Amino acid sequence: MKVFNVLIVGIGGQGVILASNVLGEACIAEGVPVRCSETHGMAQRGGSVESHVRIGSKYSPLIPPGTADLILAFELLEALRYRHYLKEGGTVLANDHLIVPTSVYVQKLPLPAREEIIAQLRENAFVIDARALALEAGSPLTLNIVMVGAASPFLPLQTSSLEAGVRTWVPPKTLDMNLKAFEHGRAAVTALR
């Protein structure tokens, strides 16, 4: 299998690490080598969180800039911040939501408009309202699983393996809600393709 690089980015508390665990679990279920690495940054204070998932890799867990096949961004500014990791022809899948960092308010920094951000994400960008889909599934806390579901058509993994990863990593009492969130995300991207 050719290496498929997925960079998952977001803000602390959005479930970036759980999403990468789901992908890793799906790889294990299929017997595919996988390497993962996370950077937490001041995650508890709303800082940036990134998780590198290298599907099919037996070596380094870090994705070199310019080689990500897929950037899965739980927030638009994070998609913009990490777009230099995307390879030519790669795909950006972003949640259509802006979380304004405190520094913008404190330092009165300019914030790019939503349309500017989307325009800078390159031509292979899919933007979905993952928060609305998570609420529809039953909880805003399922946003990360909505995004995993949205990523599923782009990944070299079986949908059933990804769903098995969800079953393994989410709390049992939230399983039905998370499986619904996964399906909402998958359907949203399928409608855009």
Between 28 and 59, the more confident residue is 28
% of the chain exceeding 70 in pLDDT = 91
pLDDT at 172 over 80: yes
CATH code (residue 62): 3.40.920.10
How many of the other CB atoms lie within 10 Å of CB of 20?
26
Domain annotation covers residue 185: no
Domain annotation covers residue 190: no
pTM for this predicted structure: 0.92
Number of domains in the chain: 1
CB 69 within 8 A of CB 6: yes
**Average pLDDT of span 69-97:** 94
Q: Phi/psi at 41 (nearest 5 deg)?
A: 45, -170
CA distance 82 to 92: 10
Domain annotation covers residue 94: yes
Residue 54's domain spans which residues? 4-129+151-170
pLDDT value at residue 17:
93
Domain annotation covers residue 140: no
How many of the other CB atoms lie within 10 Å of CB of 126?
18
Instruction: For residue range 38-72, list pLDDT tens digits in order.
Output: 876 655 556 789 999 999 998 889 999 999 999 99
